[in-house]
């Protein structure tokens, strides 16, 4: 018998055509039910011995994103912003995005309006393929990144003039950059121009993080404190490793409860921010700019063993080799933060040879979409 799903009226006029959201036509409780069932099924299929109870954590299911990335394209002579049409790379111009913090769409609108009136803004938007907007916790500051053709040549003073013109309409934009972008391979790492502040402060649970423009940070502004609480609360010891540390969302808090923190991050921008922050807290804390796999290959040969390991990998997960190395290192406790349940199930199947899952949390960082975040607490068996 075909399953009946609880329907809802989508808030977005682009739903069904836009590739961003998959679940706006379902009630929010139904979305959570589907995600819980999917997570349970993937863990069962992988042979993972998980607790029957999955703790759900959710918040406001709209207006939650603090960061969005839009395409810019000229349609009938007019610049428009938008996303991809579902299951294609075709451009879809949009007028709204209900999962985004309102200030981000307002800033995008101001950018296009400025480009229609200001020569410097027109020049830069004509060279732009995509634009990223990132807002701070109280939505009073926005960072802007334009992804431009690699051969773009900046007229002297043009980028600063563009930002100044934009700020008359959008004073929340405190800094901006244009970076070289290859449509086949993505950002090249080369900055073409920049002006204003190089990043912004973001407050989570009374901890202030400096995020340099281009650094990774979690996107759900309503659940960041919950995420930090679930990963860090009531955890203390001599040594903790924070792998895939980013700007230190977790290690900055853990640093107050562990004698030493070793934070590992491959992205040089995030690693620099984290190194500066941890050194101010305690000289015993260290930041290593490295991939997690390379770090583990070296660490397995050392005698130093952590009490706690935090894992927060990208969608590819930890991987088979890293999972085997983690079992050899045999920390007392691992907290695994996952944004992909398929790779999570694969990794847990490896770790369960030494560890028992003692808690399983589904944190819905991406409402209206099929994506889900999971936090798994693993204790080493005696």
- CA separation for the pair 148, 123 (Å, rounded): 11
Calculate the alpha carbon distances from 209 to 255, 310, 339, 355 in Å.
14, 18, 22, 32
CA torsion 132→138→139→144, rounded to 10°?
A: -30
Environment class of 272 (CB within 10 Å of its CB; exposed 0-12, middle 13-18, buried 19+)? middle
CB atoms within 10 A of CB 284: 14
Q: Look at residue 291 in the predicted model and tell me its pLDDT.
A: 97
**Rounded (10°) angle between helices 102-117 and 119-126:** 110
- CA separation for the pair 129, 147 (Å, rounded): 6
At 167, phi and psi to the nearest 5? -65, -20
SS (H, E, C) 256-280: CCEEEEEEEECCHHHHHHHHHHHHH
Query: Which residue has tokens 């802007």?
Result: 144
- CA separation for the pair 301, 274 (Å, rounded): 25
- CA separation for the pair 260, 239 (Å, rounded): 5
- Both tokens assigned to 111: 């950018």
Q: Look at residue 1 in the predicted model and tell me its pLDDT.
A: 43
- Both tokens assigned to 127: 């060279």
- Nearest in space to 50 (alpha carbons), one of 318, 313, 366, 347: 347
Who contacts 75 (Cβ-Cβ below 8 Å, separation ≥6)?
Answer: 91, 93
- CA separation for the pair 292, 294 (Å, rounded): 6
- The DSSP-derived string for 12-27 is -TTTTTBSS-S-TTB-
Q: Look at residue 135 in the predicted model and tell me its pLDDT.
A: 98
Mean pLDDT by 10 residues, the chain (382 residues): 80 98 98 97 96 94 98 96 97 98 98 97 96 98 96 90 98 97 79 96 95 93 98 97 97 95 95 92 91 97 94 97 98 98 98 97 98 98 90
Structural domains of the chain in order of their starting residue, each with its CATH number: 44-59+220-380 (3.40.50.150), 67-200 (2.40.50.1070)
- CA separation for the pair 79, 73 (Å, rounded): 6
- CA separation for the pair 179, 160 (Å, rounded): 15
- The pTM score is 0.95
Question: Cβ(100)–Cβ(68) under 8 Å?
Answer: yes
Question: Among the residues of the chain, which ranges form H helices?
Answer: 28-45, 102-117, 119-126, 158-169, 224-232, 251-254, 268-281, 292-299, 320-329, 341-351
Q: Look at residue 186 in the predicted model and tell me its pLDDT.
A: 73
Query: Which residue has tokens 């101010």?
Result: 280
Question: Cβ(219)–Cβ(66) under 8 Å?
Answer: yes
Question: Cβ(323)–Cβ(350) under 8 Å?
Answer: yes
């Amino acid at each position: 018998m075909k399953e009946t799903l609880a329907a809802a009226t989508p808030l977005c006029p682009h739903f069904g055509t836009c590739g961003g959201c998959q679940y706006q036509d379902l009630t929010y409780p139904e979305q959570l039910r589907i995600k819980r069932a999917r997570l349970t099924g993937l863990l069962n299929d992988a042979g993972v011995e998980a607790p029957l109870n999955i703790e759900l954590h959710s918040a406001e299911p709209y207006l939650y994103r603090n960061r969005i990335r839009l395409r810019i394209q000229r349609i009938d002579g007019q610049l428009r912003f938008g996303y991809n049409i579902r299951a294609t790379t075709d451009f879809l111009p949009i007028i709204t995005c209900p999962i985004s913090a309102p200030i981000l769409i307002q800033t995008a609108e101001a950018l296009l309006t400025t480009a229609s009136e200001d020569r410097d803004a027109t020049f830069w938007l004509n060279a732009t393929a995509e634009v990223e907007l990132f807002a701070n916790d109280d939505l009073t500051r926005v960072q802007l990144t334009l992804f431009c053709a690699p051969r773009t040549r900046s007229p002297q003073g043009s980028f600063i003039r563009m930002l100044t013109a934009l700020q008359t309409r959008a004073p929340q934009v405190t800094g901006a950059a244009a970076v070289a972008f290859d449509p086949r391979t993505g950002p090249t790492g080369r900055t073409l121009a920049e002006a204003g502040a190089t990043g912004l402060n973001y407050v989570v649970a009374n901890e202030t993080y400096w995020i340099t423009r281009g650094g990774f940070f979690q996107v759900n502004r309503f659940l960041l404190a919950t995420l930090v609480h679930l990963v860090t609360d009531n955890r203390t010891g001599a040594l903790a490793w924070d792998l895939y540390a980013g700007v230190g969302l977790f290690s900055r808090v853990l640093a107050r409860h562990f004698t030493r923190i070793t934070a590992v991050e491959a992205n040089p921008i995030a690693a620099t921010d984290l190194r500066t922050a941890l050194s101010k807290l305690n000289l015993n804390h260290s930041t290593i700019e490295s991939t997690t796999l390379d770090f583990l290959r070296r660490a397995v040969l050392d005698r130093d063993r952590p009490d706690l390991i935090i894992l927060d990998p990208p969608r590819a997960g930890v991987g088979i080799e890293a999972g085997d190395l983690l079992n050899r290192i045999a920390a007392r406790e691992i907290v695994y933060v996952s944004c992909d349940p398929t790779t999570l199930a694969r990794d847990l199947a490896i770790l369960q040879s030494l560890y028992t899952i003692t808690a399983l949390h589904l944190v819905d960082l991406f409402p209206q979409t099929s994506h889900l975040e999971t936090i798994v607490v693993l204790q080493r068996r005696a």
